[in-house]
Structure 1
Amino acid sequence: MSFLEARLSTRDWFATDGHVWLHLAKTLLAAFIAMGIAMRLELPQPRVAMTTTFVLMQPFAGMVLAKSVYRFAGTALGMLAALVLGAVFVQQAELYALALTLCVAACTALAVRYRQFRWYGFVLAGYTAALIGIPAVTDPNGLLIATLTRGAEVMLGIVCSSVVSALVFPRHASATLMHSLDTRRAQFAAFAADVLRGRLSRLARERRFADFVDEIVDFEATRGFAAYESPTMRQHNGKLAQLNSAFMDACSRLHALDQSMKRLRANDYTQCAHDALVPFLEELARIFEHASLNVHLERYKAMLPKRLRDAQRKLANTDETTQLDFTTSAELLYRFIDDTIRYASIANGERLKDRASSRYEAKTNRFVLAATFMRTGIVIAATAWFWIVTAWPSGGYAVIGATLACALSSASARPSKFIAQMAAGAALALFMGYTYLCHVYPAIDGIALLCAMLAPPLAAGAFLAMRADTAGYGIGFCVFFCLLAAPDNRIVYDPALLLNNGLAVLVAMLGAAIACAVIVPPRTPWLVGKTLSELRAQAALACEGKLAGLGERFHSGTHDLMSQLRGLLTRRSREHRHALSWMLVTLEVGQAMIDLRNESRALHAQRFPDALRIAWSTSLALVLRDIALLFRTPDSATLRRAIGSVVASILIAQSMLELARADRNARHDMQRVLACLHFIRTALVDPDAPFVPAHEKVPSWRSD
């Protein structure tokens, strides 16, 4: 092998498997530094600092820094909660355990509400309170000292993790983020070209739009912790938020245009309108294949209105509905180009100062939060009750194990499976801990040899924790090996105590796994239905919310809820496709309602007679009310009512258009309003829409 080949091979290894080994080495280095400093400072439990590093370490420096900030805040909040509850319920073990259970359950529910690294802050607040407070149930006099020492140990782990991640061969999320942006832009351009040419099947298009959901949510997470890496990333954070918002808009416009063209193809009456638009779509598809997308789109947009008017004149002999179909699709085409130009401009480094700062809003249904609170509270309360009633010597570890299981599994769509994996990892940690306590620790001397002997099992656990399908095993092993069997300043060589504590943890975790599988698990159809209802309610938000920043709130909430559903539902299942259909029709109709409200606000209604103006205002209010009602309670009755309201508004808008023929600006405004209404009507009568079951479908009918 030549030197050049060896160099290229080494570079490839560092870009793939090398990152894994580097992450493992940095994790072990941070853990051993934290353990060594804790021992040098004679802190009572260096294992806590060691555990902190394993839970905290991430591949990117920004991840660790973000996690450290929230872990610091969560730990401080947990320490405060433990102290306050201990002061209020001093020498009242039952009340203290109940209050602590409610505190942990509330923190776990809030962790589900505030996801990503904010999730970790609330999780830490809950189980730090348990780790500090559980021993104080039977020994309230040691609460203050336990709080201070535990806080010092946790903070030491935070500092060691942050320093090692930032200084030892740091990997920055910003570089990965920029690379993912370039990849996403190229993939979107290729996908748009295929959609415009009609090359993809309906199933392929839906799957690609679903993949965009994951990319949008992942981008927000990456953007959040990349801001911790450097002042430059914090400076560009607003632009990146705008970029993700523009990408959501462009995806939504592409789907709406695709749906409009699909409906034109499916109807013999509108085939001529479809044929008139095909050359425009083909030309636009060729533009998407160019590298300088923004420049070509700007030129195409400048010439498009005149060319569309010329094409529309050729349809002068067709019926009014066909002309309206053409106008609607042409308007969607123009809006798609406009939003894509905005997306490409921001991607090229421009910041649109005329728009308010974009804000991504995560959504979580309140029933999901209530179920999480109830499930966590029942598990911890039952374990604490059994401990206090039976005076179980290792019952405190059982409560801690149940708390950790519920807290760490709260972000999982299958918590029972995750906890079962953690239990398996904890069982292996118990076996390995017994081996080390009885045979390894007595035979070694010195910190260097201790680190060398601890490295193999901890590296194996950290490696398992890095992979999504084995994360539970790795987390369970690393956390409970450190908590049960990691060395302290004064090691207690008592195998019986280790086994009792370990068995208590295993029993508690198995009980938690069973409880999470029985007590309203996240994948319960009823609970999934509540999240789906929240997704549909985003269309009602588009009808009723304040217009300022409504587009960003609507798109981010819809994509975030769909991301949750994709985690709960089996991919490519009937339920998953049903949820995806609801997401797409919610985006389709919701965006059209926002456009309709904006265009209606821009109308100069005083130009029209009072009776017509009042009729228009009344009909628009009915459309907003009935569309919101349809998405909240979809059935054949609400669908018929919504279609009737939209058709009535179309008739009034057509009357207003006739009166505005002489005024070019007013005519264009009314045409845009009419296009929004007509698109909403076609979406409601689409036979593929999921509003009602197939046997109750409302037949498609024309507005003429």
Structure 2
Amino acid sequence: MLAGYTCALIGFPSVSMPGAIFDVALARVEEITLGIVCATLIHSLILPVPVGPNLLARIDEARGKARTWILDVLKSAKDSDADRRKMAGTISELRLLATHLPFDTSRLRWAAGLVNGLCDQLALALPLLYAIEDRKLALGELPPEWQAMLNRIAAWIEAGTDAAQAGVLCAEISALTPKASAQSTWQDVLLINLATRLTALIQCCINAAEIRRAMNQSSSVISPDIEKILIKTSMDKLHQDRGVAFRSALTAFLAITLSGAFWIASAWPSGMMAPVMAAVACSLFAALDNPAPAIKVTFILSVVTIPLSAFYLLVVLPATHSFGMLAMLMFPVFFILGIFMMRPASAFPALMTTLVLASTLALQDTAMADMNTFLNNKFGELAGVASALVATGLIRSLSGEWVIDRLLRAGWQDLARLGKAAVPDKAFASRMTDRLGLLAPRLATLSDPAPAASVLNDLRIGHEMTILIQHQELLPLHIQPLLTQLFAYFAERAAQAIPSAGLLSQLDNTLRGAIQESGSAAQLALIAALVGIRRDLFPDTAADLSHQPIADLSQQAIALPNHQDEKP
């Protein structure tokens, strides 16, 4: 973003003197470097506020919420779906905060990989918890021994997730798990799925606790045991929407072209400020769904600050003859604006006022401004912001419903790719959790929770499909056709929300084949994955495990939200 509008700040003012553009660019780089160095020194030496402790507090808060959610699921207590969606947003926020750690002054500057690893464990816990909750719902009243098992797991979590006790719990779960055989019932395979998910949840809790303990170490050397836990997921493996990025680029191009054409056609000497401000406005707010309101606020603040800018530029600065006097005269306004920037309610207006005021002053070593030049430049700035507002309104103003639909479609495309993948996609869970985090603030404006339910459903299905890919050599004649049908379904998911009877039949056939395989850990994982996919796609239809595929029951399948008719 900085590089993008810096090109405009250097290029357009140099049009009238192209021979000096290298000197202008060099001076601009020196100014930016000096500003960054000064800000870094001030923030590091004068009342420093490192990111590390705040990040640790957020991590512990997130783990506390996750622990509460786990206990609610195990104890069948009711909790809020909104809180669950906020958990996904918290995970994405922690990942973004972790990008600042390498530049932090605290001892945690080496722990960015650990933070991402902990976020991965929290992301993996999301589908596990929803799966456990769904399996409990499908089973109805649990057998007494299974309910006692859930209570023991809850007590273990409340006591602090001791690693030695975890092995005992996993052994008890294994002893309770029904053996897969030709006589297995639908309840048996549901219990197998529940046992597998409980074991994975216990392992997830242990991994998260180990990573958190590693953060308390003063050494930057990560132990081999922790290295095995960490999933190598970089930020570029999170959700990306190149279509929206192209719209943002097209908006900036159109705004700069319109303002530049007006500058050339009018032969206005100060018109060069228009394309400069158009580039700045389009770049600053490109990440928003609808940047128009923010650009409108910037336009209003540019008008409101004209008297203050004129007072400083035309009255105060000509009478300033030393750096100390300049600092004293600038202190009151920027100190007050800094205070308002720390308040969430006034942060954005205060920030934009600071940017507009600082850019208007454009401090030089000699006084060169007069009222005529000041007004010309100011009107040029307003023309540029106005052109950015018009271009944004034409191209880049996207509704929340449209963005939600894009997020859902991106998830379906990922699932379709999984159906054709030869190896599991390790970054899938992180991408889907990131999408859920992106959904959370947008769903606050909607009354329909179905999009969030769809993303969570897709997250669970992707988790199960990953297991199928890992164990496809166990039943190649069954799993390959199933993955092909899943690919076909999710490739057309936007147009066809209800899965077909053929997919249902293939799922049942594959499940029968998995049950008939020799007992092994891979067999149980495969059965659990198939049961999970079947519950997610056909929640109201029990499988017939005793004979040929059942008839067309696709009308009983879950009808997930379909936003294909919505427009931006």
Listed one character per residue, the Cα deviations across residues 271-317 of structure 1 (whole Å, up to 9, x for unaligned) are: 4x5665322222222222223554543432233322x14xx49x99x
Equivalent pair of 2:429/2:459 in contact (CA under 8 Å) = yes
In the alignment, structure 1 residue 676 sits paired with structure 2 residue 529: yes
In the alignment, structure 1 residue 512 sits paired with structure 2 residue 365: no
Q: CA deviation at 1:165?
A: 1.6
- Structure 2 vs 1, CA of residues 698 and 353 (structure 1 numbering), >3 Å: closer, same or farther? same
Residue number in structure 1 paired with 2:491:
632
Cα separation, 1, equivalents of 2:67 and 2:456: 20
- Structure 2 vs 1, CA of residues 225 and 494 (structure 1 numbering), >3 Å: closer, same or farther? same
For 1:297, the aligned partner's letter is A
| Aligned-partner SS, 1:352 | helix
Q: CA deviation at 1:687?
A: 5.8
Pairing 1:195-214 to 2, within 5 Å after superposition: 195-201=73-79, 204=80, 206-214=81-89
Q: CA deviation at 1:128?
A: 0.9
For 2:160, the aligned partner's letter is A
How many residues of Structure 1 are paired with residues of Structure 2 in the alignment?
534
Equivalent pair of 1:372/1:410 in contact (CA under 8 Å) = yes
Residue number in structure 2 paired with 1:571:
444
Equivalent pair of 2:289/2:400 in contact (CA under 8 Å) = no
Residue number in structure 1 paired with 2:306:
430
Equivalent pair of 1:543/1:594 in contact (CA under 8 Å) = no
Query: Which stretch shifts more, 390-399 or 175-184?
Result: 175-184
Q: CA deviation at 1:157?
A: 0.8
Residue number in structure 1 paired with 2:217:
none
For 1:626, the aligned partner's letter is Q
Pairing 1:598-613 to 2, within 5 Å after superposition: 598-601=470-473, 603=474
- Structure 2 vs 1, CA of residues 629 and 430 (structure 1 numbering), >3 Å: closer, same or farther? farther
Q: 5+ residue gaps in structure 1? A: 1-122, 266-270, 604-615, 661-665, 689-695
For 1:322, the aligned partner's letter is Q
Equivalent pair of 1:535/1:558 in contact (CA under 8 Å) = yes
Q: CA deviation at 1:394?
A: 1.9
Listed one character per residue, the Cα deviations across residues 492-524 of structure 1 (whole Å, up to 9, x for unaligned) are: 240121122112212321332233133142336
TM-score of the superposition, structure 1-length normalised?
0.70
Which structure has the higher relative contact order (CA within 8 Å, separation 6+)? Answer: 2
| Aligned-partner SS, 2:99 | helix
Listed one character per residue, the Cα deviations across residues 303-345 of structure 1 (whole Å, up to 9, x for unaligned) are: 3322x14xx49x99x9712222222222222222222222222
Q: CA RMSD in A?
A: 2.9
Equivalent pair of 2:472/2:480 in contact (CA under 8 Å) = no
Cα separation, 2, equivalents of 1:274 and 1:533: 40
For 1:256, the aligned partner's letter is A
User: Which aligned segments of 4 or more residues in structure 1 are displaced greater than 6 angstroms?
Assistant: none
**Structure with the larger helix share:** 1
Equivalent pair of 2:156/2:162 in contact (CA under 8 Å) = yes
Residue number in structure 2 paired with 1:416:
292
Q: CA deviation at 1:466?
A: 4.1
Equivalent pair of 2:318/2:367 in contact (CA under 8 Å) = no
- Structure 2 vs 1, CA of residues 357 and 291 (structure 1 numbering), >3 Å: closer, same or farther? closer
Equivalent pair of 1:253/1:335 in contact (CA under 8 Å) = yes
Residue number in structure 1 paired with 2:247:
371
Cα separation, 2, equivalents of 1:168 and 1:323: 64
Residue number in structure 2 paired with 1:184:
62
Cα separation, 1, equivalents of 2:260 and 2:422: 47
- Structure 2 vs 1, CA of residues 320 and 687 (structure 1 numbering), >3 Å: closer, same or farther? closer
In the alignment, structure 1 residue 557 sits paired with structure 2 residue 418: no
Pairing 1:478-489 to 2, within 5 Å after superposition: 478-489=354-365
Cα separation, 1, equivalents of 2:275 and 2:540: 54
Equivalent pair of 2:117/2:230 in contact (CA under 8 Å) = no
TM-score of the superposition, structure 2-length normalised?
0.86
- Structure 2 vs 1, CA of residues 516 and 404 (structure 1 numbering), >3 Å: closer, same or farther? same
Cα separation, 2, equivalents of 1:403 and 1:199: 52
Q: CA deviation at 1:629?
A: 2.8
| Aligned-partner SS, 1:188 | helix
Equivalent pair of 2:415/2:462 in contact (CA under 8 Å) = yes
Equivalent pair of 1:593/1:676 in contact (CA under 8 Å) = yes
| Aligned-partner SS, 1:581 | helix
Cα separation, 1, equivalents of 2:456 and 2:226: 27
Query: Which stretch shifts more, 254-263 or 400-409?
Result: 254-263
1:491 to 355, 367, 391: 367
Equivalent pair of 2:277/2:381 in contact (CA under 8 Å) = yes
Cα separation, 1, equivalents of 2:145 and 2:492: 38
For 1:522, the aligned partner's letter is L
Q: CA deviation at 1:594?
A: 1.1
For 2:530, the aligned partner's letter is L
In the alignment, structure 1 residue 449 sits paired with structure 2 residue 310: no
In the alignment, structure 1 residue 277 sits paired with structure 2 residue 134: no
Equivalent pair of 1:130/1:403 in contact (CA under 8 Å) = yes
Residue number in structure 1 paired with 2:316:
440
Q: CA deviation at 1:385?
A: 1.1
Q: CA deviation at 1:400?
A: 1.0
In the alignment, structure 1 residue 650 sits paired with structure 2 residue 507: no
Q: CA deviation at 1:364?
A: 1.4
Equivalent pair of 2:71/2:154 in contact (CA under 8 Å) = yes
Residue number in structure 1 paired with 2:187:
322
Cα separation, 2, equivalents of 1:325 and 1:301: 17
Query: Which stretch shifts more, 124-133 or 489-498?
Result: 489-498
1:406 to 282, 285, 291: 282
Equivalent pair of 1:210/1:580 in contact (CA under 8 Å) = yes
- Structure 2 vs 1, CA of residues 513 and 637 (structure 1 numbering), >3 Å: closer, same or farther? same
Equivalent pair of 1:429/1:478 in contact (CA under 8 Å) = no
Residue number in structure 2 paired with 1:582:
454
- Structure 2 vs 1, CA of residues 556 and 509 (structure 1 numbering), >3 Å: closer, same or farther? same
Listed one character per residue, the Cα deviations across residues 565-597 of structure 1 (whole Å, up to 9, x for unaligned) are: 345x2416145x232112100111111111222
Residue number in structure 2 paired with 1:23:
none
Residue number in structure 2 paired with 1:352:
226
| Aligned-partner SS, 2:13 | helix
Residue number in structure 2 paired with 1:7:
none
Cα separation, 1, equivalents of 2:478 and 2:205: 32
For 1:333, the aligned partner's letter is L
Percent identity for Structure 1 against Structure 2: 20
Q: CA deviation at 1:462?
A: 3.2
- Structure 2 vs 1, CA of residues 293 and 499 (structure 1 numbering), >3 Å: closer, same or farther? farther
Equivalent pair of 1:250/1:343 in contact (CA under 8 Å) = no
Listed one character per residue, the Cα deviations across residues 436-478 of structure 1 (whole Å, up to 9, x for unaligned) are: 2333334554333322221222233334444555444223322
Cα separation, 2, equivalents of 1:155 and 1:556: 35
For 1:199, the aligned partner's letter is A
Listed one character per residue, the Cα deviations across residues 30-62 of structure 1 (whole Å, up to 9, x for unaligned) are: xxxxxxxxxxxxxxxxxxxxxxxxxxxxxxxxx
